[in-house]
Structure 1
Amino acid sequence: MATTTTSTSPTGGPAVSFRDLAYLPLVRSLTTAINITTKAQQHVASSSSSDPSSPTEEDVVTARLAPDMYPFWQQCYQLRKTTSNVVQRLSATTPGPVTDPARPEEGTITTFAQCLAILQAARDELDQAVTDHPDLFADEQAPAGTSVQYGPLSLPVSKKAYLEGMMVPNLNFHLAMVYAILRMKGVPLGKVDYMGPFFADYVDMDEVKKEMAAAAAAKQKE
């Protein structure tokens, strides 16, 4: 097994490792997507029981921000696709094409349970890849070559460049779309729901939520 090295920045502090760049954004993005989709599932179920005119699961799952943008369920699929592509590219010993996971047919995904299954499949694939290849996110992987499809072009790049230039912004984009669609359809989400998994390794997010709720309650009494 390759050993992950720890380099230092010019200022003497620890540099960002390849694992920081590659693995943590995947885990945190998938965790956030699963958490807010679960919250949406609970909200819609509760709302529909008290207000028959509230949006149904299918209304939310098939909603999109603009006519030419993916609906909610396919934003979830894009997170699944990105995860699978990363695992394949990092696992490959030589650059080559990747195989996208099967995309559900239009009109077949209408429930939050189906969306959660898509997201959980992404997390399961990532977890299995780490188990099968303990050195998958080792620093030695960073300069290795891979290739990415950009429109009609197949571009040779390093694995580090692929992660920085394509994976991270792609994850951020589709996760933001998942959040935005849920907010548009009335799911009571806040920024802490989005950022929680990203910051939870460094602060007690339960305490943060508790203090925010107390502050909101105090403000209502003013």
Structure 2
Amino acid sequence: MKITIHSIATETFVPMLRSLSNILDKGAEHARSNNSDPAALVNARLAPDMYTLAQQVRLACNHAKDATARVTGKEPPQFEDSEQTLEELKARIAKTIGYVDSVRAAAFEGAEDRKITIPIPENDMEFEMNGLQFLRDWALPHFYFHVVTAYDILRHNGVDIGKRDYLSHVGGYIRQRNSPA
């Protein structure tokens, strides 16, 4: 199988976003079973200077949709950052998955060499890289950071989740070992 920018992006973003949606379900169940306010989870953060769960989910979604758009030479779709509930965050994830899935493989042709620039408004500078560098060194690390931080916030707040929840999509690779003859 040939490795393509399309497969790296789509086959990373979509399964991890589905895992993120599933751990939000576990967060909702945790709140219900403990008679606690789910909004406390939505607004929870790991440290005072870190973003809330809601913002971590939004940023994970933004990195997925923005990277998909940028490497295909398109403008990223704009989503309103107004989610206040776990259900609204799940809807944001679903909308992001829908967008990423809607971009056909052909749109990624030449993406590895496509020039990507990201302005740094504070000092009139910009990042400049090709599509492969952008995906490898910018988009995927940021995406994973925000997904794992959302996971960590839920885990820190007592939600019963583990690595199997975070990496739920790898279960498809589990096979029975061949017994030695």
Q: TM-score, normalised by structure 2?
A: 0.85
Measured after TM superposition, the shift of residue 44 of structure 1 is: 1.5
CA RMSD, aligned part only? 2.3
Q: Distance in 2 between matches of 1:150 and 1:25?
A: 26
Structure 2 equivalent of residue 45 of structure 1: 32
Pair 1:148 & 2:118 matched: yes
Equivalent residue in structure 1 for 2:145, among 157, 173, 176:
173
Structure 1 residue 103: Cα displacement: 1.8
What is the Cα deviation at residue 180 of structure 1?
0.5
Q: CA deviation at 1:68?
A: 1.1
Structure 1 counterpart of 2:9: 22
User: Unaligned 5+ residue runs, structure 1?
Assistant: 7-15, 49-54, 208-222
| Shift, 1:84, TM fit | 2.1
State the shift of 1:120 in Å: 1.2
Q: 1:180 & 1:200 partners in 2: Cα distance?
A: 21
- The SS at the match of 2:103 is helix
Aligned-pair identity in percent equals 22
**Structure 2 counterparts to residues 116-135 of structure 1, below 5 A:** 116-130=90-104, 134-135=105-106
Q: How many angstroms does 1:102 deviate by?
A: 2.2
Q: Which amino acid aligns with 1:156?
A: E
Give the match for residue 101 of structure 1: 79
Letter of the structure 2 residue corresponding to residue 103 of structure 1: D
Determine the C-alpha separation between the residues in 1 that align with 2:168 and 2:153. Answer: 19
Q: Deviations over 1:186-208 (max 9, x none)?
A: 100011111122x134226xx9x
Distance 1:99 1:127 in 2: 14
Q: Which one has the largest radius of gyration?
A: 1
After TM superposition, what 4+ stretches of structure 1 lie above 3 angstroms from structure 2? 97-100, 149-152
Alignment TM-score, normalising by the size of structure 1: 0.70
Number of equivalenced pairs: 174
**Cα separation, 2, equivalents of 1:164 and 1:170:** 10
Which whole-Å CA distance do the structure 2 matches of 1:171 and 1:79 have between them? 5
Which deviates more, 164-173 or 142-151? 142-151
In 2, the alpha carbon distance for the partners of 1:169 and 1:100 equals 21
The alpha-carbon distance between structure 1 residues 201 and 143, as it changes in their structure 2 partners (threshold 3 A), is farther
Which residue in the other structure is 1:65 paired with?
46
State how far apart, in whole Å, the 2-side matches of 1:194 and 1:180 are: 10
